[in-house]
């Protein structure tokens, strides 16, 4: 199983543990990831706010590079994924637009390859049964809130992946890893994307609501599948706690990190040492409980 891999900008810096754990579990499960050479930023979340053509051209260059190899692209970031899906739809609907894009990027682009999320490929291509077979250290006793955010599942006319209001893919993964996925109402609520940075007054409240609902549902941590969601929930958590005078101390995991831990890798090997809300005490207590049980 071989795919083109588009890490996207966040995975070089703020989400490097997501990049690390994605490559680790992909390798573990026999999925070959070929990193697209000299990839550029897809322009999310700024380009489409300013110009339609620019917003299509930037991700189209990346799609064209994967198309040269005839490989579908695996994408870890929901925003990148959504922009690529928008390009796929635009060229499917208009031959004229496809030609315009080719002209702007000066590359051949037929629209023949497809962007897929890491989550989709691991769960639907590799399969939950194969994943379950690799679990050496089940996440026993961990109540987790699976948080999807917006752009993996919306709008369904371009993403065509799971339910837009109540997706279950990651919940099923949590259960396969031996954890407990709590039902909660904010699993697809928006984290604000760049708003917690650009308009802190508006954005922090959005992050607060998500943390609050996860805690109310009894979750001891949140599982994410997007570097922007993670940044907002993890790095900004202290700021949210200060602004709303409430303590959460909720570790925020990437689903790939939890897979790595369940597969038997140490938390360090899984990349769990660079979070802002330290997840190690929670993991250690869960592992101890399992061993004494």
Partner 1 sequence: MERLSLSQALSSGQAFKERIEAASGVTLSRCYQCGKCTAGCPASSGMDYGPRGIIRLLQLGLYEKAMRSNTPWICAGCQTCYVRCPRDIDMPKLMEAVRQEACRRGIVGDKKTEVFDRAFLRSIERFGRPHEASIMGEYNLLTGQPFKDIMSGPAMLARGKLALLPSRIKNISEIKKIFARVRAKGGEAR
Binding site for partner 1 (CB under 8 A): 9, 12-14, 16, 38-41, 43, 45-54, 57-58, 61, 100, 103-106, 150-151, 154-156, 164-165, 188-190, 192-195, 197-202, 205-206, 209, 235, 274-276
Name the minimum Å distance from CB 289 to partner 1. 28
CA 239 centroid distance within chain: 22
Name the minimum Å distance from CB 203 to partner 1. 8
Two tokens, residue 101: 């894009």
Name the minimum Å distance from CB 93 to partner 1. 10
Name the minimum Å distance from CB 276 to partner 1. 7
Which of 45, 286 has the CB closer to partner 1?
A: 45
Closest CA to 209 of 155, 180, 172, 248: 248
Q: What's the CA gap between 21 and 215, in Å, rounded?
A: 25
User: Is 61:72 a contact under the CB 8 Å cutoff?
Assistant: no
Q: What is the CA radius of gyration of the chain?
A: 19
Which of 54, 133 has the CB closer to partner 1?
A: 54
Which of 178, 251 has the CB closer to partner 1?
A: 251
User: Is 211:237 a contact under the CB 8 Å cutoff?
Assistant: yes
Name the minimum Å distance from CB 152 to partner 1. 11
Which of 94, 266 has the CB closer to partner 1?
A: 94
**Which neighbouring-strand residues pair with 115?**
73
Name the minimum Å distance from CB 202 to partner 1. 3
Which of 83, 178 has the CB closer to partner 1?
A: 83
Sheet holding 180-181, edge to edge: 180-181, 143-146, 221-224, 252-254
Which of 91, 190 has the CB closer to partner 1?
A: 190
Name the minimum Å distance from CB 49 to partner 1. 5
Helix (H) or strand (E) holding 181: strand 180-181
Two tokens, residue 56: 């299509």
Which of 16, 172 has the CB closer to partner 1?
A: 16
Q: What's the CA gap between 80 and 76, in Å, rounded?
A: 8
Residue with tokens 């209001």: 165
Residue with tokens 């799609």: 63
């Amino acid at each position: 199983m071989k795919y083109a891999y588009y890490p996207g900008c966040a995975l070089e810096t703020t989400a490097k543990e997501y990049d690390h754990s994605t490559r680790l579990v992909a390798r573990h499960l026999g999925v070959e990831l070929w990193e697209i050479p000299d990839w550029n930023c897809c322009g999310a979340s700024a380009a489409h706010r300013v110009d339609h053509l620019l917003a299509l051209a930037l991700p189209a260059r990346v799609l064209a590079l994967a198309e040269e190899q005839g490989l579908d692209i695996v994408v870890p970031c929901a925003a990148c994924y959504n922009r690529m899906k928008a390009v796929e739809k635009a060229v499917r609907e208009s031959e004229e637009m496809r030609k315009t894009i080719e002209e702007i990027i000066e590359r051949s682009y037929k629209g023949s390859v497809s962007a897929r999320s890491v989550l989709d490929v691991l769960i639907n291509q590799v399969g939950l049964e194969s994943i379950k077979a690799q679990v050496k250290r089940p996440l026993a006793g961990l109540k987790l809130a699976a948080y999807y955010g917006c752009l993996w599942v919306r709008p369904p006319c371009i993403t065509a992946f799971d339910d837009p209001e109540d997706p279950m893919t990651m919940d099923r993964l949590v259960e396969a890893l031996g954890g407990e996925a709590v039902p909660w109402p904010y699993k697809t609520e928006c984290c604000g994307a760049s708003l917690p940075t650009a308009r802190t007054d508006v954005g922090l409240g959005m992050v607060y609501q998500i943390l609050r609902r996860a805690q109310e549902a009894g979750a001891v941590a949140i599982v994410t599948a997007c570097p922007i969601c993670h940044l907002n929930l993890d790095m900004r958590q202290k700021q949210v706690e200060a602004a709303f005078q409430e303590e959460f101390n909720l570790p925020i995991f990437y689903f790939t990190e939890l897979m790595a831990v369940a597969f038997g890798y140490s938390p360090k090997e899984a990349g769990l040492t660079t979070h802002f809300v330290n997840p190690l005490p929670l993991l250690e207590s869960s592992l101890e409980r399992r061993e004494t049980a």
